Amino acid sequence: MCLGIPGVVVEVKELTAIVDFGGVKREVDKLLVPDVKPGDYVIVHAGAIISKLSREEAEKTIEAWKEVLEALKV
């Protein structure tokens, strides 16, 4: 099972991209999806972008993550 986290690309470098995960920004590898650009929504797994997704898909996924995290609060 793999766990991919959705985020939005805010900056693109030669081999990496800066991705914003709800306010937390991380530099990730973009070698598997080299055509990303700022504003693209992506799924990141193990420090690498593994796919792009539409804004609608990203918003649904982010909302589902919020629900999971809320349910885990004790």
pLDDT in tens, 15-73: 999 999 989 999 999 999 999 999 999 999 999 999 999 999 999 988 988 898 899 98
pLDDT confidence band for 6 (50 / 70 / 90): very high
Domain count, the chain: 1
- What is the reported pLDDT for 4? 87
CA distance 49 to 28: 7
Q: What is the CATH classification number for the domain harbouring 15?
A: 2.30.30.140
Structure-block tokens of residue 52: 């792009």
What beta strand segments (E) does the chain contain? Answer: 5-12, 16-21, 24-29, 41-45, 48-53
| Domain span at 40 | 5-72
